[in-house]
Structure 1
C-alpha cells in the first residue's frame, strides 16, 4: 500500500487528484493538507511514499514546502501538480529534483502515467 500526501489549497483539486489516483492505484492510502505549513507537518507525521504539491498556496507556498521537505528528507518523492506553467518557475522547481512536474488540470491520462510509475516504483 502506497501512502500519498496531496498538498493543495483547493478542496476541489484535492478531490479530483485523489479520485484519479484511486482510479489507477486502488490500494493507495491518501492524506490531505490545505497549505504548505500543514503539509510539512503532515509529511513529518505520516512519512508518505509520494507527495503531490501545488505551488500556489497560502501560509507556505509549494516551492518553500519542497525546500523544507528536501532539507528534512533528501529522498522524498515529490510530484508537482500546478497551474503555474511559467518556464522560469518550472526550471527553478526542477532544481529541487522533483520526480515530475505536471500541469493542471490533472486528468485520466496524466494520472495513469504517474500511477503506473508509482505502482512500478520507477520514479
Structure 2
C-alpha cells in the first residue's frame, strides 16, 4: 500500500506518517508540501490513498481535488481530507468530489485509527 500525505506543514506531514505507521507499518509513504507538488507526486507514485490538507500555498486542497477529478476521473486513489477549515460549504464541496472522509484537525492517534478502520473495511 502506498500513502501520499499532502500538507504544507512539515510537522503535520511527520505526524500523519508517524500515526499511520502504527496501523500500516509496511506501507510506503510519500509527502508533498502543496497541491501542485502533490499532484506531481500522485502522477509519479500512483498512491492507493491520499491524506490531503486544504489550506496550502501554490495549489490548495480544493484546487488539487478539482484537478485530479478533471484529469483522472476514474482514479482508484482514495482520499481523506484533514483540515482546520470546517465551513459547511467547504465540507459539502469536498464531499461532493468523492473523498472518503473529512476529518478536522488537529490530527491524532484516534483519527489515524479512524482512517485505518475505514481502509481496512473497504
Q: TM-score range by the shorter chain?
A: over 0.9
Match runs of 1:1-123 below 5 Å:
2-74=1-73, 75=75, 76-120=77-121, 122=122
Q: Would the aligned equivalents of 1:53 and 1:62 in 2 still touch at CA under 8 Å?
A: yes
- Compute the displacement of 1:91 (Å): 0.9
Could you tell me how far apart the structure 2 residues matched to 1:77 and 1:101 are?
A: 12
Could you tell me how far apart the structure 1 residues matched to 2:108 and 2:40 are?
A: 28
TM-score under structure 1 normalisation?
0.92
Could you tell me how far apart the structure 1 residues matched to 2:72 and 2:101 are?
A: 17
User: Deviations along 1:13-66, whole A, 9 cap, x unmatched?
Assistant: 001111000011111110000011100000000000001110000000100001
Q: Would the aligned equivalents of 1:78 and 1:98 in 2 still touch at CA under 8 Å?
A: yes
Which contiguous aligned blocks of 4+ residues in structure 1 show a shift greater than 6 angstroms? none
- Compute the displacement of 1:106 (Å): 1.0
Could you tell me how far apart the structure 2 residues matched to 1:83 and 1:27 are?
A: 29
Which runs of 5 or more residues in structure 1 are unaligned? Answer: none
Tell me, what secondary structure is at the counterpart of 1:24?
coil
Could you tell me how far apart the structure 1 residues matched to 2:63 and 2:104 are?
A: 19
**How many residues are aligned here?**
120
RMSD of aligned alpha carbons: 1.1
